[in-house]
């Protein structure tokens, strides 16, 4: 990049897995007007669910 304030890339090494050992899902554009979403599908590794199986989106 040709940006004088850029000091990246910031992450060194591989992207970590979610707490259940799965890769995070990346959605661009994101939902609800966000630029992007990072998603863990939870323990069941499938969309939807509740409790430990619930999706986590940031």
pLDDT in tens, 12-25: 889 899 999 999 99
Does the pTM surpass 0.85? The reply is no
Cis before 9? omega within 30: yes
Cα–Cα distance, 17 to 24 (Å, whole number): 7
Instruction: Give every CB contact of residue 28 below 8 A, 6+ residues apart in sequence.
Output: 35, 36, 37
pLDDT at 1 over 60: no
**What pLDDT score does 36 carry?**
95
Nearest Cα neighbor of 40 from 29, 28, 53, 51 is 53
**What pLDDT score does 27 carry?**
93
Q: Tell me: the pLDDT tens digits for 30-39?
A: 998 999 999 9
Q: Token pair for residue 42?
A: 């939870």
């Amino acid at each position: 990049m040709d940006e004088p304030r850029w000091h990246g890339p910031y992450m060194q090494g591989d992207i970590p897995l979610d707490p259940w050992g799965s890769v995070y899902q990346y959605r661009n554009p994101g939902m609800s007007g966000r630029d992007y979403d990072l998603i863990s599908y939870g323990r069941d590794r499938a969309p939807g669910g509740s409790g430990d199986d619930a999706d986590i989106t940031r």
